[in-house]
Amino acid sequence: MMSFYSGVLLPFGFASPEGASDSGIVGGKEAKPHSRPYMASLQVGKDHTCGGILIRQDFVLTSAHCKHAGMTVVLGAHNISRQEASQQRMEVAEFIPHPQYTGEYDYDVMLLKLKRVAVLNKYVRPIELLKKGGRIRAHLRCTVVGWGRTGEDLPASKVLKEATEQTQFDFECKNIWQQYFNGTQMICTKFDRKKGGVCQVRSNGGSSRHGGAASERLLSPCRETPADRCSATTSFGG
Q: Give the three-state DSSP class for 153.
A: coil
- Based on the residue annotation, tell me whether 170 is a catalytic residue of this protein: no
- Cα–Cα distance between 40 and 51 in angstroms, integer? 6
Which of 34, 65, 78, 210 is catalytic? The answer is: 65
- Cα–Cα distance between 130 and 235 in angstroms, integer? 6
3-state secondary structure 83-148: CCCCCEEEEEEEEEECCCCCCCCCCCCEEEEECCCCCCCCCCCCCCECCCCCCCCCCCEEEEEECC
Q: What residue ranges in the chain does DSSP mark as E strands?
A: 6-9, 21-27, 29-30, 39-44, 47-56, 59-62, 71-75, 88-97, 110-114, 141-146, 161-167, 186-190, 196-203, 216-218, 227-231, 235-237
Which of 23, 63, 157, 203 is catalytic? The answer is: 203
- Based on the residue annotation, tell me whether 48 is a catalytic residue of this protein: no
- Based on the residue annotation, tell me whether 108 is a catalytic residue of this protein: yes
Which of 108, 208, 210, 231 is catalytic? The answer is: 108
The residues annotated with a catalytic role in the active site are 65, 108, 203
